[in-house]
Amino acid sequence: MPELPEVQTIVSDLNKILPGLKITDVWTDWFKNFKKELVGKKILNLKRRAKFILINLSGNKTLIIHQKLTGHLLYGKWKWKENGWMSVLSGPIQNDPRNRFLHLILFFSNGFELALSDLRKFAKVLIWNTDELENLKELKELGPEPLESDFTFEKFKKALVNTRRKIKQVLMDQRAIAGIGNIYSDEILWKAGVHPLKPAQKLSEKELKEIYKAIPKVLNLAIQSKGDSISDYRRPSGEKGGYQNIQNAYQMDGTKCKNKDGGIIKRIKISGRSAHFCPVHQKI
């Protein structure tokens, strides 16, 4: 599932292209009642909240997209051929099979399109009044943004100390901290030297500070790397991100720890989710 760095990369990429364009048509084989709401609207800007993409439109409307497990947005040109849409532009959008599962296309005034490719069809798309976004349940329940200046150590600490859950579970809880999922919880804990099974309320002050310091370092590096494409995530150009080439823990089980401490990355299950860690420098 695309997490904060992947969603931020998409928003940043599309903010260089979409503002000022008008939606001239809409195609979908899945979502309902979108064409009437969207045609004629102009793109104002794009923002990110946690793992949500917010496309602000003229007329006090916002298109909200959560890509879920396998969804990602692509910017290009497509043509209907036989039983599906095919990219008319050469390159990764056309060549990468992960980019061929289109379920929503917005057609723009410049002749290009924005498409949602989603293999498993779990993505969520809805339209909301822009001035009422703060009342939308999905956004209202989200925790603080970990890269914002007001994400203080005290605010971080407050989200962790009053729960018996494992630290990995808390980091992934969108109500506690927004935008972190399976990939970056592993990466953050690896960098902080904290075992994923350790109960959050039993973390020492030193461990809390190490996690707090690791969060922006890991997330900003992932953003600089344009996200992690170890699974389905692709940039709007259809290209892969690069963080999967430098990750330290996530899906690295069986490999030597890059901390050079002699450890071998292990994989365990926590409430049905995988966790990857080094048993040498991440002791419980």
Find out whether 10 and 60 touch, Cβ atoms under 8 Å.
no
Structure tokens at 178: 């927004």
Among the listed residues 41, 49, 51, 234, the single catalytic one is: 51
- According to CATH, the topology of domain 153-277 is Helicase, Ruva Protein; domain 3 (1.10.8)
| Per-residue model confidence (pLDDT) at position 128 | 97
**Catalytic (active site) residue 51:** yes
Is 207 tagged catalytic? Answer: no
Q: DSSP assignment, residue 219?
A: H
Instruction: Let me know if 213 is a catalytic residue.
Output: no
Set 3, 113, 187, 207: catalytic member: 3
Residue 84 CB burial class (10 angstroms; 0-12, 13-18, ≥19): exposed
Answer yes or no: same fold for 4-140 and 153-277.
no
Q: Which amino acid is at 24?
A: T
Residue 98 pLDDT:
84
Is 97 noted as a catalytic residue in this protein?
no
**Annotated active-site residue in 68, 266, 267, 273:** 273
Chunked mean pLDDT (size 10), the chain, 284 residues: 97 99 94 87 99 98 95 95 88 86 96 94 94 96 97 93 92 97 98 98 96 99 98 94 98 98 98 96 95
CATH architecture assigned to 4-140: Alpha-Beta Barrel (3.20)
**What local confidence, expressed as pLDDT, does residue 279 receive?**
98
pTM over 0.85: yes
Distance, in Å, from the CA atom of 165 to the CA atom of 98, rounded to the nearest integer, reads 35
Per domain, the residue ranges of the chain are 4-140, 153-277
Say if residues 219 and 147 touch (Cβ distance below 8 Å): yes
